[in-house]
């Protein structure tokens, strides 16, 4: 059994039982969906260093769920802070 097939089986298991791991790897599409942004905007955020990316080779690009959640939390705090100070 290959590493990729084990990874796919684990992802399927997690989705079936609702199990979320802090360092779960997300595809570009999944990360963009969580952030409610386009793939182009996600690429820009990655390019600008706002969100870290896990790369293996040229085509395997994934995002850690914890990095996506950290990005959201950083921007929620800033937005709340600006509104309170106005």
**What pLDDT, in 10s, does the model give residues 25-60?**
999 999 999 999 999 999 999 999 999 999 888 888
Provide the number of structural domains found in the chain: 1
| pLDDT level of residue 86 (50, 70, 90 thresholds) | very low
Query: What pTM value is reported for the model?
Result: 0.62
CB 15 within 8 A of CB 56: no
Domain that includes residue 29, residue range: 3-85
Among residues 73, 74, 46, which one has the least CA distance to residue 62?
Answer: 46
Which phi and psi angles does 61 have, rounded to 5°?
Answer: -125, 125
């Amino acid at each position: 059994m290959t590493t990729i097939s084990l990874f796919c089986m684990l992802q399927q298991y997690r989705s079936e039982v609702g199990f979320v791991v802090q360092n779960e790897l997300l595809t570009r599409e999944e990360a963009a969906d969580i952030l409610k942004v386009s793939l182009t905007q996600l690429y820009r955020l990655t390019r600008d260093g706002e969100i870290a990316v896990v790369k293996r080779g040229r085509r395997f690009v994934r995002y850690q769920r914890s990095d996506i959640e950290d990005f959201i939390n950083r921007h929620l705090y800033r937005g709340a802070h600006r509104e309170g100070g106005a």
